């Protein structure tokens, strides 16, 4: 099973490179690349019953000739289909080859979403399916078409058929009614039935969650004695007195927990969770001040250079007056600046260094590192924060996350951390008014924007794509930027930012917006975290239906950071999910609802794909599964020398070797 993918027919050098870029190098790894969802083609829906918003399979025939027209850079292919009960239009974008294929009278099995277009229910960009059943849909791998990916997985499964050893103890499998491993792998990809799929996903989810939780328990129990930091209690009050605002009770409580950790002989490993604007950064700065009072250095790592620079500016204003020398280490510094920064860190001339991944590069040596802070924890893996903590002799670790995660799930995903929740917003924080804006009301939105800019305010436009895609019907950032700049709002100053830009160009555009030199920033989700522009009062989210609730809430948090009334406009047709977002600004309630609707794996995005490869995705919000695996892990670890427990522990160490590299395999 650990043979190269080149052994599979149809995977040549180009596709091999694409798979490797996605972290898939062997047949085993390809089989473990599980579908993110399934197209249900087991039943078809009559066209007369199809409503806008439905995602369904329909069996139809082509009625009439194919029509083509161009709009901007889109080629729109349109035809009518019928099933005898109704005749409906179908639209595809940038798929010119369809014109030859869609001959009048041809029978089709289509799967897609019905939408309202010009007063009619219309099928938009449906897939043309070959057969009925439950069809796997995988996360997109650039360079590999979906059909080719399915065929490659099918070929890999045949190579592995019957070869998966069932390493979970038989008694444990019987206790929880778990199916056999080979059956699970086959039916997780190409299910014989819906019941077989559920059994397969339950088996894979249970195994992965159980092993993950055991690995976290091993990781935690292997913790060494850490840096013990002594300081006077008066330092806590002195820090709060230095703030330009009064701390909330939640901030005081959480800092008390952090202070107790710093004084402990055991190295702190604590996550501080809090909604956007709850004041987590102030808690981190307070911890840095306490470490300084005890004579120790601190390091704060942020996921982007923009966020690192913002933290540096804030630290200069707050910490420098307390006598704390703050330095900045980011990738864009010149060679000479890098050398001087390294020297200042090694000599202890900087009490606190703030930066990006540059903080964990090989050449960086700290004189007396006592505290490590990582911001936006969901952007970093355990290994990254561990690499930073290894720069000292078991320093205290504090991680912050503005992604509110329901407490039960936090205990599972971050079992190697204690968890503090900042569940109170500072007084005076302006609530953001959220509205759903259908396409018909777009002209009114532009007029509102003009009025806001005339008052001296700024706005964001966030798009789900960088450029046009054949696979996804959504407004891309580049097209929105051009449309606003040359058509809809030519009198305004508009900047464009997306992840494919060079870091220097992206940072420069963000800085111009932050400095007030641009009225509108068109962007992808790169501005989800780390952009703090109090003057921005409007957030427009294109194709809002394509984002999860938790991500929409994160994006909404970019406005309402000043004293002025702020707005978030969701460009989409109304649906219950988006209406729920309009009804509350409570990030924890939104995250809970998101988990119920989408499954917990979606809360963390693709960046977490290396954390739990299958279990969380297959979990689909099953709180009972979380509890079962949590309790079983605790039961097994109570007697680790018992044969079944020992077998599962060995499996956990093998599966999560990168996380447990410091734990000896007995």
Q: Crossing angle for the helix pair 280-293 and 305-318, nearest 10 degrees?
A: 60
Domain count for the chain, please give it.
Answer: 5
Residues 272 and 348 in one domain: yes
- What's the pLDDT at 107? 94
Residue 325 has pLDDT above 60, yes or no: yes
Same domain, 391 and 459: no
Tell which of 129, 155, 180 closes a domain.
Answer: 129
Asked if the model's pLDDT at residue 59 lies above 90, the reply is yes
Question: Both 567 and 578 in a single domain?
Answer: yes
In a domain, 89, yes or no: yes
Q: Answer whether residue 603 is part of any domain.
A: no
* 56 within domain boundaries: yes
384 band by pLDDT with thresholds 50, 70 and 90 = low
Q: State the Cα–Cα distance between residues 441 and 439, nearest whole angstrom.
A: 5
Residues 197 and 184 sit within 8 Å (Cβ to Cβ):
no
Paired strand residues for 566:
432
Per-residue pLDDT at 252 exceeds 60: yes
**How many residues make up the chain in this entry?**
666
Which pLDDT belongs to residue 221? 63
Predicted confidence at residue 428, as pLDDT, reads 67
Sheet holding 458-462, edge to edge: 432-437, 566-571, 536-541, 458-462, 520-523, 494-497
Q: What value does the mean pLDDT take over residues 448-453?
A: 96
* pLDDT class of 608 with cuts at 50, 70, 90: very low
Bridge partners, residue 432, by sequence:
566
User: Who wins on pLDDT, 308 or 387?
Assistant: 308
Q: Which of 125-129, 172-176, 216-220, 244-248 has the highest mean pLDDT?
A: 172-176
**Could you say which of 560, 584, 608 is where a domain stops?**
584
Distance CA 167, CA 169 (A): 6
Tell whether 192 and 216 lie within a shared domain.
Answer: yes
Q: Under a CB-based contact definition with an 8 Å cutoff, are residues 398 and 325 in contact?
A: no
On the question of pLDDT at 61 being above 90, the answer is yes
Give domain status of residue 311, yes or no: yes
Taking only the tens place, the pLDDT of each residue in 506-524 is: 888 888 998 999 999 999 8
What per-residue confidence (pLDDT) applies to 487? 87
d(CA 623, CA 639): 26
pLDDT grade for 663, boundaries at 50, 70 and 90: very low
pLDDT score of 664: 35
For residues 260 and 329, membership in a common domain is answered with yes
pLDDT band at 386 (very low <50, low <70, confident <90, very high): low
Question: Can you tell me the distance from the alpha carbon of 353 to that of 592, in angstroms, rounded to the nearest whole number?
Answer: 35
> Which residue blocks in 351-398 are alpha helix, DSSP H?
382-389
User: In this structure, is residue 654 part of a structural domain?
Assistant: yes
As a whole number, mean pLDDT of residues 554-560 equals 87
DSSP per-residue string spanning 268-316? PEEEEEE-TTS-HHHHHHHHHHHHHHTT-EEEEE-SSHHHHHHHHHHHH
Q: What is the pLDDT of residue 388?
A: 65
Residue-wise pLDDT for 334-377, tens only, equals 999 999 999 999 999 999 999 988 887 778 899 999 999 988 65
CATH code (residue 351)? 3.40.50.300
- CA 131 centroid distance within chain: 33
| Within-domain flag for 604 | no
- Predicted confidence band at 548 (pLDDT cuts at 50, 70, 90)? confident
**Mode of pairing for the β-strands spanning 536-541 and 566-571:** parallel
Residue 435 CA neighbour count, 13 Å, CB half: 13
Whether 414 and 453 share a structural domain: no
Of 104-118, 292-306, 541-555, 623-637, the range with the lowest mean pLDDT is: 623-637
Give the separation between CA 605 and CA 379, rounded to whole angstroms: 10
Distance CA 261, CA 67 (A): 68
3-state secondary structure of 82: strand
Listed residues 401, 422, 443: the one ending a domain: 422
Q: What is the pLDDT of residues 461-518, one digit of tens each?
A: 998 865 444 334 456 788 889 989 988 899 999 999 887 788 778 888 888 998 999 9
472 and 464 Cβ atoms separated by less than 8 Å? yes
CA distances from 172 to 176, 235, 658 (A): 7, 52, 26
Q: Tell me whether residue 595 is in a domain.
A: no
Distances (CA, A) of 548 to 198, 199, 580, 622: 24, 27, 12, 18
Residue 418 structure tokens? 């204690």
Closest CA to 302 of 292, 289, 291, 315: 315
Residues 517, 445 within the same domain: yes
Mean pLDDT over 24-46 rounds to 89
- Looking at the fold, whether 158 and 190 belong to one and the same domain comes out as no
pLDDT above 90 coverage of the chain, percent: 43
Do 263 and 201 belong to one domain?
A: no
**pLDDT, tens digit, 9 for 90 and up, residues 582-596:** 999 888 788 777 766
| pLDDT of res. 122 | 92
Mean pLDDT lowest among 28-32, 275-279, 530-534, 551-555: 530-534
Query: Region 18-44: what's the mean pLDDT?
Result: 89
Residues 83 and 181 in one domain: no
**Residues 484 and 449 placed together within one structural domain of the fold:** yes
Comparing CA positions, the residue from 318, 304, 315 lying closest to residue 374 is 304
Are 241 and 254 within one domain?
yes
Asked if residue 610 belongs to a domain, the reply is no
Instruction: Look over the chain and give the mean of its residue pLDDT values, rounded to a whole number.
Output: 84
Q: Which residue in the block uniquely carries the two structure tokens 């229910």?
A: 121
Contact yes or no for 566/560 (Cβ under 8 A): yes
Structural domain harbouring 5: 1-41+146-163
User: pLDDT band at residue 415, thresholds of 50, 70 and 90?
Assistant: low
On the question of pLDDT at 134 being above 50, the answer is yes
């Amino acid at each position: 099973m650990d043979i190269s993918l080149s052994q599979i027919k149809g995977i040549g050098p180009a596709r091999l490179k694409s798979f490797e870029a996605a972290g898939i190098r062997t047949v085993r790894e390809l089989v473990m690349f599980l579908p993110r969802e399934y197209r249900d083609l087991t039943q078809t829906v009559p066209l007369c019953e199809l409503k806008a918003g439905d995602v369904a399979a329909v069996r139809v025939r082509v009625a009439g000739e194919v029509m083509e027209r161009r709009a901007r850079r889109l080629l729109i292919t349109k035809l009518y289909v019928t099933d005898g009960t109704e005749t409906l239009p179908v639209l595809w974008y940038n798929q010119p080859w369809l014109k030859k294929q869609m001959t009048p009278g041809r029978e089709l099995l289509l799967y897609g979403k019905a939408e309202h277009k010009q007063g009619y229910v219309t099928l938009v960009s449906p897939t043309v399916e070959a057969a009925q059943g439950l069809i796997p849909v995988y996360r997109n791998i650039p360079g590999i078409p979906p059909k080719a990916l399915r065929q490659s997985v099918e070929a890999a499964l045949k190579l592995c058929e019957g070869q998966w050893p069932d390493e979970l103890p038989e008694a444990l499998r019987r206790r929880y009614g778990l199916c056999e491993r080979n059956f699970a792998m086959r039916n997780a990809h190409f299910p014989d039935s819906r019941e077989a799929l559920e059994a397969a996903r339950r088996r894979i989810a249970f195994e992965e969650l159980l092993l993950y939780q055991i690995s976290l328990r091993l990781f935690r129990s292997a913790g060494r004695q850490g840096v013990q930091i002594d300081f006077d209690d008066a330092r806590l009050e002195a820090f709060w007195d230095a703030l330009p605002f009064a701390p909330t009770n939640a901030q005081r409580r959480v800092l008390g927990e952090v202070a107790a950790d710093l004084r402990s002989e055991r190295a702190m490993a604590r996550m501080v969770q809090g909604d956007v604007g709850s004041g987590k950064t102030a808690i981190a700065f307070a911890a840095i001040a306490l470490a300084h009072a005890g004579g120790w250095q601190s390091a704060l790592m942020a996921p982007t250079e923009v966020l690192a620079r913002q933290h540096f500016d804030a630290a200069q204003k707050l910490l420098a007056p307390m006598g704390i020398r703050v330095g900045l280490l980011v990738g864009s510094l010149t060679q000479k600046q890098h050398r001087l920064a390294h020297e200042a860190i090694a000599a202890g001339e900087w009490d606190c260094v703030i930066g990006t991944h540059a903080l964990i590069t090989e050449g960086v040596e700290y004189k007396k590192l006592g505290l490590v802070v990582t911001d936006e924890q969901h952007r970093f893996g355990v290994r990254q924060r561990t690499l930073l903590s290894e720069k000292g002799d078991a320093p205290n670790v504090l991680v912050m996350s503005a992604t509110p995660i329901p407490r039960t799930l936090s205990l599972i995903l971050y079992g190697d951390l204690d968890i503090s929740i900042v569940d109170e917003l500072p007084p005076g924080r302006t609530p953001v008014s959220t509205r759903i804006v259908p396409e018909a009301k777009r002209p009114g939105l532009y007029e509102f924007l003009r009025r806001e800019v005339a008052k001296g305010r700024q706005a964001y436009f966030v798009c789900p794509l960088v450029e046009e895609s054949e696979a996804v019907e959504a407004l891309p950032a580049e097209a929105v930027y051009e449309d606003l700049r040359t058509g809809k709002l030519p009198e305004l100053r508009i900047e464009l930012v997306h992840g494919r830009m060079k870091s220097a160009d992206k940072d420069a555009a963000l800085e111009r917006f932050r400095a007030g030199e641009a009225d509108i920033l068109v962007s992808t989700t790169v501005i989800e975290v780390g952009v703090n522009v109090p003057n921005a009062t409007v957030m427009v989210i294109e194709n809002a239906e394509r984002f999860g609730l938790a991500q929409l809430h994160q994006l909404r948090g970019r406005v309402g950071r000043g004293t002025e009334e702020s707005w978030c406009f969701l460009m989409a047709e109304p649906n219950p999910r988006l209406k729920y977002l309009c009804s509350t600004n409570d990030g924890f309630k939104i995250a809970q609802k998101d988990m119920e609707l989408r499954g917990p794996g979606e809360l963390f995005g693709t960046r977490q794909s290396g954390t739990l490869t299958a279990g969380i995705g297959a979990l689909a919000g099953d709180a009972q599964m979380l509890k079962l695996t949590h309790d079983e892990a605790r039961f097994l670890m109570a007697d680790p020398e018992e044969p079944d427990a020992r077998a599962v522990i060995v499996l956990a160490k093998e599966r999560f070797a990168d996380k447990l590299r410091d734990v000896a395999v007995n």
